[in-house]
A = this chain, B = another copy of it.
Amino acid sequence: MRLPDFDDVIAAHQLIREYIHCTPVFTSSAINNITGAEIFFKCENLQKTGAFKFRGACNAVFSLTDEQALCGVGTHSSGNHAAALAFAASLKGIRSHIVMPSNSPEIKKKAVEGYGGIITYCEPNLQSRETTLKKISESLGLEIIHPYNNSKVIAGQGTAAKELMAEVSGLELVMCPVGGGGLLAGTALSVKALSDTCRVIAAEPAGADDAFRSFNVGYIIPSVQPNTIADGLLTSLGEINFDIISKKVDNIVTVSEDSIINAMRLVWERMKLVIEPSSAVPLAAILENKETFRNLKIGVILSGGNIDLGKLPF
């Protein structure tokens, strides 16, 4: 199978550009002072459906032939891909069936329903997700749009870093969180195509460090009983994702739960932005390793802002 490349990101951007937000890039002198770095935050929490996931879902859905789209699309997702796919499907006028773990945050369930997605609940583990999705997709003839192990999804997610690189010149490093690896793979495609020198480093919760370990041993180690507040990063790496990540990503670092919460609070307090815990993971890595990142010009993708305000960690 051909891996997606930057041409696919360019094609994705053409296809989805008029449906997505070109999200703003914000800076914070307070956070620059605290970290000693110069950070440019790409605000995908302000993307439609509240996360970068809408980019990939749009590209995947809009790339379907009419025949493929006929019976609708299906997926499993802990939340943000679910809402993104439901909204993208509604824009194309087709049905979406979403398998969600029963413990998904309330706000993410409501969002899926609000966009017209049809939810089927499953046990909160990968196996239950996959078997449940298989069952409903076979009975309904759905086109399955995997949340990250999908070339169109990866190409779509890469448009965020493409916009970031176009807006901010001279970035020395781009960082994003890693869960399934859709955002990270897409980001790496864009950054490495647009710069000879800019590095790509992903950050991951220490309590869900399957990508960190997989990256270091050279094969996929599945995520087993991950435990982190960053509920968007519980999944295992996809195969296409891992292939790209292995080739193009410079490093993956892990961070503690306390650092994630501190970083999240910093963004809320100083930048007045609501971000979900997963979004705070790269900044947490910078805060944990200030010397490593000092004086660097860094792009950070704030991946999403969907969080249950009734369950804040502070």
Point out residues on A near B: beta carbons under 8 Å. 24, 26, 30, 45-46, 50, 107, 114, 265, 268-269, 271-275, 305, 309-310, 312, 314
18 extra A-B contacts, CB within 8 A, seeds A107-B269, A269-B309, A272-B274: A24-B24, A26-B46, A45-B272, A46-B271, A46-B272, A50-B272, A265-B309, A268-B274, A268-B309, A269-B274, A272-B273, A272-B305, A273-B273, A273-B274, A274-B274, A309-B314, A310-B314, A312-B312
| A273 to B107 CA separation, bound complex (whole angstroms) | 16
The 3 A-B pairs at the shortest CB distance, nearest first, are namely: A272-B305, A272-B274, A45-B272
| A214 to B312 CA separation, bound complex (whole angstroms) | 40
- With a cutoff of 8 Å between Cβ atoms, the chain B residues found around residue A50 in the complex are 272
| A268 to B309 CA separation, bound complex (whole angstroms) | 8
- With a cutoff of 8 Å between Cβ atoms, the chain B residues found around residue A269 in the complex are 107, 274, 309
- With a cutoff of 8 Å between Cβ atoms, the chain B residues found around residue A273 in the complex are 272-274
Closest residue of chain B to A272, judged by CB? B305
A-B contact pairs, 20 of them (CB 8 A): A24-B24, A26-B46, A45-B272, A46-B271, A46-B272, A50-B272, A107-B269, A265-B309, A268-B274, A268-B309, A269-B274, A269-B309, A272-B274, A272-B305, A273-B273, A273-B274, A309-B312, A309-B314, A310-B314, A312-B312
- With a cutoff of 8 Å between Cβ atoms, the chain B residues found around residue A107 in the complex are 269
- With a cutoff of 8 Å between Cβ atoms, the chain B residues found around residue A268 in the complex are 274, 309
- With a cutoff of 8 Å between Cβ atoms, the chain B residues found around residue A305 in the complex are 272
- With a cutoff of 8 Å between Cβ atoms, the chain B residues found around residue A274 in the complex are 268-269, 272-274
Expressed in whole angstroms, the minimum distance between the Cβ of A222 and any Cβ of chain B is 32
Expressed in whole angstroms, the minimum distance between the Cβ of A13 and any Cβ of chain B is 22
- With a cutoff of 8 Å between Cβ atoms, the chain B residues found around residue A271 in the complex are 46
Closest residue of chain B to A107, judged by CB? B269
| A269 to B312 CA separation, bound complex (whole angstroms) | 13
Closest residue of chain B to A30, judged by CB? B114
Expressed in whole angstroms, the minimum distance between the Cβ of A215 and any Cβ of chain B is 30
| A107 to B314 CA separation, bound complex (whole angstroms) | 14
- With a cutoff of 8 Å between Cβ atoms, the chain B residues found around residue A265 in the complex are 309
